[in-house]
Structure 1
Amino acid sequence: MSGKRMLVYGCAIAVGAYVAAAAALYAMQDTMLLPSTPPAVDLRDQPHPGESVERWEVGGQYIGYVVTPEAGTPDAGTPAAGMPAAGTPRGTVIVYHGNEESAETKLPLANVFVHAGYRVVIVEYPGHGNRGGARTMRAALAASRDVFARTRARWPGAIWLVGESLGAGMAARVVQGNEAALAGVVLITPWDTLASVAGEKYPMFPVRWLLHDPFDSIAAVAAYGGPLVVVASAQDTLIPPAHAEHLVAGHPGSRLMMLPNADHDTWFDAMTPARWQQVLQWIGA
């Protein structure tokens, strides 16, 4: 075989392999973005001093948990003038978890807001934890929006959104179209767009064309004029902090809290009571 023919065959094989890899990325992206979650234990089986935990079901289908401060919760403090009495939630915080997590893993995050006097809804996505269904980005987004709508109908009043990592992308998309109904939003270790993060991980592929949805958080919150807080970890290598900074830069009026010694998985440990108090102040809570 001549050298020219071998070169042609080699190029054809390389192109074929590239196309096959790109096709695999397109077909398997839900599996890559939403890996399986660890076994989840019902939160109601754990002790919860000062709070009550309800498993929220709609039509027999589990969609998450509702955690509410009980009367006399010591951490909630004495309400200011005009605030509800102790034990009456001051509003509702909806929490969206990251990937490789379930609603059960977010109780420590929920407790930050419960102990401040707020009802917390922890959303579960289909195919995660104890919820059945297809584990896809589309299904997770639909569930995120559905729980918001149900929360608003069940508990009229102030609603805040808190999302971490993947959940920050879900929360940002829930903001879109619901701007007037929100009292504040906290996005933790977020992307600016999923496409930009994926492009860094797979620079050899046209991921912007391959993604089913670019999950553009900047565009999703563009029309939102309420309090927006972004918490980023300076040592984050999964979603580098430049993405959070880009998100903040693209939304005038938003606030950035950078955690200098934290990474993607240790941000919660870096959040001191003073930092949480600052976040609560920024979002008007």
Structure 2
Amino acid sequence: MGLLIILVLGYGAVVGAMYAMQRDLQYDTKGAITPLADTAIVGAADVAIPVDGSVVNGWYAAPRSGKPLILYYKGNSGSFTAEHKRYATWMQAGYGFLAFDYRGFPASRGSVSQQSILDDAVAAFDWAASKGFPMVIWGRSLGSGPSTYVASVRDADALLLETPFLSAVSVAGERYPLLPVGLVMLDQFPVNQWIADVAEPVLIAHGTADTTIDVSNGQRLYELVPRKDKLWIVPDGTHGDLWDRGLWGQAEPFFERSEAAAGH
């Protein structure tokens, strides 16, 4: 009986610590900021987007005539500025882009939570939409949450999800099967629910060797997509190498198909 009491108390202490520290465990908000001037990007500018009395900071470039603007929702690691090679590639192909750090990440001051990320995501969409260009949405990893949410409440021409989760709480449950994550997790990002209201065509990309978000997340999420375009599964692809394995070669034709369907 004494051992059982010790085990129960120990389990409760672990659950309590997880609850108190969960956002520190969930978000990887530290990282270096790469100045725009130190990249190969030509024609983009630093921007500050108002949201809730604060701002989120990012980079913006307008597209060439006949091309859409890519609204990019970053993943859960460091600053959006680290992915500047993507943005340079998009611009070389004529696409515009808006990319930014959610509040609490390196380039944007503030505290991070699901609600703050969603608020930042909607504010970024509305800011970009005011420019008047056709828009497509790209969400990577953590960014699959806000990108899917925005696509469910705003109108764009396409939604691309790179290494998405079915929900953040499902991933947490896979990592901590003995803990009641569904009861204590505050930021659950129910992408599996939001996707039902997405009217845009959807492409999902995932790798079979992804140890951060298992490929089954992307596969199960695709089954829920109302307007399916393509599920691109990369053999031996990891959580961070789909770009190097040819993701742009899948994304660009997808955006072209979507733009044609939208009449742009």
Q: TM-score, normalised by structure 2?
A: 0.88
Look up the equivalent residue of 2:141 and give its one-letter code: S
1:281–1:258 CA distance, 2 compared to 1 (3 A) = farther
Which of 3, 6, 11 pairs up with 1:18? 11
Spell out the pairing of 1:1-285 with structure 2 (5 A cutoff).
Answer: 8-48=1-41, 51-58=42-49, 61-68=55-62, 87-88=64-65, 90-153=67-130, 155-178=131-154, 181-254=155-228, 255-271=230-246, 274-284=249-259
Superposition RMSD in Å: 2.1
Aligned length: 256
1:218–1:21 CA distance, 2 compared to 1 (3 A) = same
Q: Output one character per residue of 1:197-224: Cα deviation in whole Å (capped at 9) or x when no partner.
A: 1111000011111111321112112122
State how far apart, in whole Å, the 1-side matches of 2:236 and 2:256 are: 23
Q: Which moved more, 1:132-141 or 1:25-34?
A: 132-141
Return the index of the structure with the highest Cα Rg.
1
State how far apart, in whole Å, the 1-side matches of 2:23 and 2:247 are: 34
* Alpha-carbon offset, residue 276 of structure 1: 3.8
State how far apart, in whole Å, the 1-side matches of 2:248 and 2:60 are: 23
State how far apart, in whole Å, the 2-side matches of 1:159 and 1:259 are: 26
Look up the equivalent residue of 1:11 and give its one-letter code: L
1:277–1:149 CA distance, 2 compared to 1 (3 A) = closer
Q: Which moved more, 1:204-213 or 1:271-280?
A: 271-280
Look up the equivalent residue of 1:20 and give its one-letter code: A
Specify every segment of 5 or more residues in structure 1 that has no aligned partner in the other structure, as ranges.
Answer: 1-7, 70-86
Q: Output one character per residue of 1:60-103: Cα deviation in whole Å (capped at 9) or x when no partner.
A: 8452110345xxxxxxxxxxxxxxxxx44622211011111312
Look up the equivalent residue of 2:5 and give its one-letter code: A
Look up the equivalent residue of 1:54 and give its one-letter code: A
1:167–1:207 CA distance, 2 compared to 1 (3 A) = same
State how far apart, in whole Å, the 1-side matches of 2:66 and 2:81 are: 21
1:47–1:113 CA distance, 2 compared to 1 (3 A) = closer
State how far apart, in whole Å, the 1-side matches of 2:147 and 2:56 are: 20
* Alpha-carbon offset, residue 273 of structure 1: 5.6
State how far apart, in whole Å, the 1-side matches of 2:121 and 2:210 are: 25
* Alpha-carbon offset, residue 231 of structure 1: 0.6
Aligned 8 A contact 1:126 1:133 in 2: yes
Q: Output one character per residue of 1:147-182: Cα deviation in whole Å (capped at 9) or x when no partner.
A: 1122122x124211101100112211212221xx21
